[in-house]
Structures are given as C-alpha cells and as structure tokens.
Amino acid sequence: MPSKDLHEDPFDESTITKLEIFEDYVQAWIPTFVMQEAPIICIFDFFAGTGYDLNGIPGSPIRLLRKIKDHIGYIIEKSVRIRLYLNEYEPNRTKQNKYQLLQDACNEYLAINQDVKGSIDLIFTNKDFETLFPKLLSEIKQHPSLVYIDQNGIKFLSDKYLLEFEKMVQTDFLYFVSSSYFLWLGNTDEFKKHVTLDVDSLKKGSFSLVHRNLITQLKQKLPGKTKLKLYPFSIKKGTNIFGIVFGASHPLAVEKFLGIAWKRNEINGQANFDMDQDFRKAQLDLFGTKKLTKIEQFKENLKKRILSGEIRSNFDALNFAYEEGHIGRHAAETLKEMKQKGEINFTATSPYITYDKVYRERQLVDFNLPK
C-alpha cells in the first residue's frame, strides 16, 4: 500500500496541528509517572522522521526531547530513567539518508543539553514497523509507555495491534490515519487484508465525521468489559480529513487527552473545524426551532439520566462524561443548573465532577431528586 513521504516537503498546517497535540500530551504524560517515581518510563516513536522538516520546524523526536528537557529537574530528582525509542525505516537508502539525519538531529540536541542526555537511553532503529513492534512488545507491556504511530496508512489499525493495546494497563497510544485511504483503497484486497472495517458504512456518513465513525467501529472490536477508551480528533486539510486515534485504559490519561482536545476546540473537542456545524445551530430554523449543539445535547442526555435515576452521583456523572468524550466541567455545569432550578439537590458546595475529587480523593456526592 503506497504512502507519502511525510518529510519530502515542509510541514503543512495540519501536520503542525497533529504534532502540537502530540507534544501537549507528552507534556502532560511525562510528569504523571515521574512524580510516581516509576524507575523506567518508555516512549516509542515508530515513524520518527528526520527530526526537522525542510524549514527547520521540529518533528516529533525533537519535540519529545524538548518536553523531557522541560521536566528534567524532577526527572533527575526522582531518579527516573526514560527510554526513548526512535524508529525511521528506510528500506532503500538514498543520498539523503533519513535515518542518519534523525540520529544527527537528536545527537546534536543532546550535545547541547547534557542534562537530558544523562537521563535518557536513546535507542535508534531502522526497521519495518511490522517487524519491530513484536520485538518491543514485552518492553511496552513491562513499563509505563507512550506509543506514537505517525503513519498516514491504515494497516496499523488492524486487530492484531489494537487488541494487543487493549491488554495493556499502563500504555497510552496515538495513531495517525488519513481518511483518503477509506475512499481510495477501502475495498481493495490489500486494505481488507490488514483491516476489517465496514468501509461502505463509513462512506455513507458525512465525510467530516469519518474518524468519529471509525472510532465507533473500532470500539466494537474490543472485549465487552474492556477498560480501553478510544477517542478521535479530526484535522481538516483542504478536501481531506486526517485523524488522531487516541487510546488509554487509565482515567487520568483520558482526563488529560480530553482536556487537551477541548482546549483546542471548545465547540466540539474532536476536530480543528466545526465538524457538527454547531455555529449554524445557534440560529433558529424556518420553524422557529433550534437544533442542539454537541455540548447542549450532552447536557440534555445527562439531565435525562439523572432524573431517571440512572446517574446518582458525581462518580457516575464523570464516567458518563468520559464515555461521551466530554470533560467533567460540562457535567458540573449541568448539575449546578439543575440545582438552581430545584430539579436536583446535593449537600456539597460543588458537584465535584473532577478527576481529583472522584479518583484521587474519592469524595462521593450523591444527587437527590426532590420528593
């Protein structure tokens, strides 16, 4: 299956957006395990590139090193060792040896930042993903790990990889895929050899929602009681839609990613564009009715579940928010509005729908319906 060389041109805006989201997540991920004093944490960048684009804009390897630099004081203080795996597969060597450029860029950075160099084990590899991933699987499972698969193909969404990640309890991952592969190659034998998806169903829906619909199908492949949560973030580039698929089993990882996504787009938290046309929904239609925005629909669904008794506490409300891809603040706003209207009551000064209150402090707030 052909794929475009992502480093033959300067990074475009969509690539920068993707890298920034990854960088933001790394910024939030590293201190989580450093402060827990995990002896070893691992980061795997399976399609690392050359380190910089043609204009000197840093790619994922240099951004990773910079984020490690940001936390280097605590990393040293807590005696945490970071293993950074950077892979750039180049089967046909050219005059512009990308694998060598990757090593040169990282080594140059480390020569200037000796504190970072002394705190990491940097492992360079030049292997095909399908060969390398099985060899590193035990390492990924053994330590807290962040896996980045930045390849614009689709075969890395195959069941054999997804179901391996489903078994891991301390591994977060980000895939990057292009919707063009669904349209152009979805019904080819080579596509179907790697990925079993209902491509025709994906094509029937709105093109702008292709990655949200992809997540729905991927979730159906997971075991019934899985703890793995999957979330999309779509990035528009001209007529094409690219997408990040984020996966994690721990609620704190979910909290961090959703916080990053909703900060980037406060309208839908799932794209760098108005994928649900929520701006239009602010206007009344010809019949004087108003369609609900994504946030409004979520709040309405939450309210119904509270009034029906299905959601009885802040624990229930936060987990429902995560399931729906929303942050706790959206649920808290709903509870405060309901309390003001006398539709619900709780004795605490706040509904406490936050990760800290629910998962760290275990402060239970029961929601009571009026008698």
- Per-residue pLDDT 10s for the chain (371 aa) are 334 444 556 898 989 999 999 999 999 999 999 999 999 999 999 999 999 998 999 999 999 999 999 999 999 999 999 999 999 997 765 545 889 999 999 999 999 999 999 999 999 999 999 899 999 999 999 999 999 998 766 667 788 888 999 999 999 999 988 776 766 666 677 666 667 767 677 667 676 777 788 888 889 889 989 999 999 999 988 878 888 999 999 999 999 999 999 999 999 999 998 887 777 666 655 555 678 899 999 999 999 999 999 999 999 999 999 999 999 999 999 999 999 999 999 999 999 999 999 999 999 999 999 87
> What is the residue extent of each domain of the chain?
13-264, 279-360
Q: Spell out a b/e string for 130-156, using b for 16 or more CB atoms within 10 Å of the CB, else e.
A: eebbeebeeebeebbbbbbbbbbbbbb
Q: According to the model, what pLDDT value does residue 95 have?
A: 47
Q: According to the model, what pLDDT value does residue 351 have?
A: 97
Q: According to the model, what pLDDT value does residue 6 have?
A: 45
Q: According to the model, what pLDDT value does residue 57 have?
A: 95
pTM to 2 decimal places: 0.91
Q: According to the model, what pLDDT value does residue 68 have?
A: 98
Tokens of 370: 């009026």
Q: According to the model, what pLDDT value does residue 144 have?
A: 97
The rounded distance, in Å, linking the Cα atoms of 160 and 164 is 6
Looking at the domain that runs over 13-264, which CATH code has it been given? 3.40.50
User: Residue 132 in contact with residue 45, Cβ under 8 Å?
Assistant: no
Q: According to the model, what pLDDT value does residue 288 have?
A: 56
